[in-house]
Structure 1
Amino acid sequence: MSEMLPKAQWLASLPQVVAVGSMLVTDDAGLVLLVRANYGTCSWQFPGGWLDLGEYPTVCAERELTEETGLSCQAAGLLAVAWSIPKESTGGRAVVQFLFDGGRVPSGSSVRLQDGELSEARWVRPAEAFTLLDTNRGAWLTAALGTQQGEPVQVLAH
Structure 2
Amino acid sequence: MTDLLPKAEWLASLPQVVAVGSMLVTDDEGLVLLVKANYGACAWQFPGGMLDPGEYPTACAERELTEETGLTCQTAGLLAVTWNAPAADTGGRSVARFLFDGGQVSAGTPVRLQNDELSEARWVTPHSALTLLDSNRGAWLQAALKARQGAPVQVLAR
Q: CA RMSD in A?
A: 0.9
Give, in whole Å, the separation in 2 of the partners of 1:28 and 1:17.
Answer: 35
What is the match of residue 70 of structure 1? 70
Q: Deviations over 1:108-155 (max 9, x none)?
A: 000000021000000000000000000000000010011011110000
The Cα shift of 1:107 comes to 0.3
Q: Deviations over 1:16-67 (max 9, x none)?
A: 0010000000001000000000000000000000000000000000000000
What is the match of residue 136 of structure 1? 136
Q: Which amino acid is 2:134 matched to?
A: D
What is the match of residue 48 of structure 2? 48
Q: Which secondary structure state, in structure 1, belongs to the residue aligned with residue 119 of structure 2?
A: strand
The number of residue pairs the alignment matches comes to 157
Give, in whole Å, the separation in 1 of the partners of 2:107 and 2:115.
Answer: 24
Answering whether residue 95 of structure 2 is matched by residue 92 of structure 1, we say no
Structure 1 stretches of 4+ with a deviation exceeding 2 A read: none
Structure 1 residues without counterparts, runs of 5 or longer: none
Query: What is the TM-score with the length of structure 2 in the denominator?
Result: 0.97
Structure 2 residues without counterparts, runs of 5 or longer: none
Q: Which amino acid is 1:106 matched to?
A: S
Fraction of identical pairs, as percent: 75
What is the match of residue 104 of structure 2? 104
The Cα shift of 1:3 comes to 5.3
